[in-house]
Each structure stands twice: as structure tokens, then as C-alpha cells.
């Protein structure tokens, strides 16, 4: 399971960086999303994986008993997902606006020479 996750994280980071280096804005966005997911998976992996033991106190019990999953990475990932949700929706709206203004998807066309230099 760990090995699988490690490979998956590697792929996510690599494709994310690769997509960010492309010239298309949509691919840039996809790259950012993939990188964010890679980072979330990394937290999940490094927090230690415990199978099938959610850290929820059952009915009629006062404390958790036995081996249970560490709740901190889960809450970290949840926070990170919420944040990246906000950031990505902002980025989508921004890119849409850029597309309306400039009528192109190519990042190289973003360098309008500054008239004021």
C-alpha cells in the first residue's frame, strides 16, 4: 500500500511540474491541481496509514481504545483541500477573465511589452 502511494505521489508531482512548465494556461491550472493533490497524498502517507480504524469514539464509550488512525493528517488534508478548492476556483475565474481579455491560451502572449518602461 505504501509503495503504491509513493509511486502515485511521484507521478502526481512529476506530472504536476511538467504541466506547469507547459505554455497553455489550462495545463498550468491542471498542473497546480495535480501538485496540490500530490501534497495531500504525501501528508496522508507520512501521517502513517492505519487500515479500517477511524478515530471516532463509539456509542457508550468515553475514550478511544486499541489501535486507531491518527486524526491529525486527516484534518490537515481536509484543511488543505478546502484551501486549494478556494485557490483553484479563484484561478479558474482569473484564467477565464484573462482569456476574455487576451483571447488566447498561450502564456507567451502574456508579456505585453510595458509601454511605460
Partner 1 sequence: MKSVILRTASNYLLPLLLLFSVFILLRGHYNPGGGFVGGLIASIAFMLHAFANQLENTRKLLRYPPGALIPVGLAVSLLSGLAPVFAGQPFMTALWFSAPVPIIGLVGTPLFFDIGVYFVVIGITLTILFNISENIL
Partner 2 sequence: MTDNYIILPIIAHLAIAVLLIFFWRKVQIQRYISVLGSLLVLGLSIGLFIKTWRTGYLTMQAGNWQAPFGITFVSDVFSSTMVLLAGMAGLAVCIFSSVGISRHRIQYGYFPIFHFLLLGLNGAFLTGDIFNLYVWFEVIIISSFVLMTLGGKKPQIEGGIKYVTLNLLASVMFLTAVAILYGLTGSLNMADLSLKMAEIDNRGLVNVTGLLFFLGFGIKSAVFPLYFWLPSSYHTPPSAIAAIFGGLLTKVGVYALLRVFTLIFIPDEFTSTMLMAVATLTLLTGAFGAVIKRNMRMMFSYLIVCHIGYLIGGLGMYTQAALAGVIFYLIHDIIVKTNLFLVSGIIYKIRGTMNMDKLGGLYADYPKLSFLMAIVFFSLVGIPPLSGFWPKIYLFQEGLATPNAWYLVVAMIIASFVTLYVIAKMWADVFWKDRPAEEAATEDDFAPMKRYHRAVLIIPVVMLAIASLYIGFCAEHIATLSQRIAADLKDTAPYIKAVLGREIIKP
CB of 90 to partner 1, least distance (A): 8
Based on the shown chain and the rule CB under 8 A, indicate whether residue 46 belongs to the binding site for partner 2.
yes
Based on the shown chain and the rule CB under 8 A, indicate whether residue 30 belongs to the binding site for partner 2.
no
Pick the closer one to partner 1 by CB: 52 or 113. 52
Pick the closer one to partner 2 by CB: 53 or 97. 97
Based on the shown chain and the rule CB under 8 A, indicate whether residue 96 belongs to the binding site for partner 1.
yes
Residues 79, 65 contacting (CB under 8 angstroms): no
Based on the shown chain and the rule CB under 8 A, indicate whether residue 94 belongs to the binding site for partner 2.
yes
Q: Compute the residue count for the chain.
A: 117
Instruction: For residue 108, count CB atoms less than 10 angstroms from its CB and return exposed for 0-12, middle for 13-18, buried for 19 or more.
Output: exposed
Based on the shown chain and the rule CB under 8 A, indicate whether residue 72 belongs to the binding site for partner 2.
yes
CB of 66 to partner 2, least distance (A): 19
What three-state secondary structure class fits 60? Answer: coil
CB of 50 to partner 2, least distance (A): 13
Based on the shown chain and the rule CB under 8 A, indicate whether residue 49 belongs to the binding site for partner 1.
no
What is the signed CA dihedral for 74, 6, 11, 80, rounded to 10 degrees? 10
Residues 107, 21 contacting (CB under 8 angstroms): no
Based on the shown chain and the rule CB under 8 A, indicate whether residue 87 belongs to the binding site for partner 1.
no
CA 114 remoteness from chain centre? 34
Amino acid at each position: 500500500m505504501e509503495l503504491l502511494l509513493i509511486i502515485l505521489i511521484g507521478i502526481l508531482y512529476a506530472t504536476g511540474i511538467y504541466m506547469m512548465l507547459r505554455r497553455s494556461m489550462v495545463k498550468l491550472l491542471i498542473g497546480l491541481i495535480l501538485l496540490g493533490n500530490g501534497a495531500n497524498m504525501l501528508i496522508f502517507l507520512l501521517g502513517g496509514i492505519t487500515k479500517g480504524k477511524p478515530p471516532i469514539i463509539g456509542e457508550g464509550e468515553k475514550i478511544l481504545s486499541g489501535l486507531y488512525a491518527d486524526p491529525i493528517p486527516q484534518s490537515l488534508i481536509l484543511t488543505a483541500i478546502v484551501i486549494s478548492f478556494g485557490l483553484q476556483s479563484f484561478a479558474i475565474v482569473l484564467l477565464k477573465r484573462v482569456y476574455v481579455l487576451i483571447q488566447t491560451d498561450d502564456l507567451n502572449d502574456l508579456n505585453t511589452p510595458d509601454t511605460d518602461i
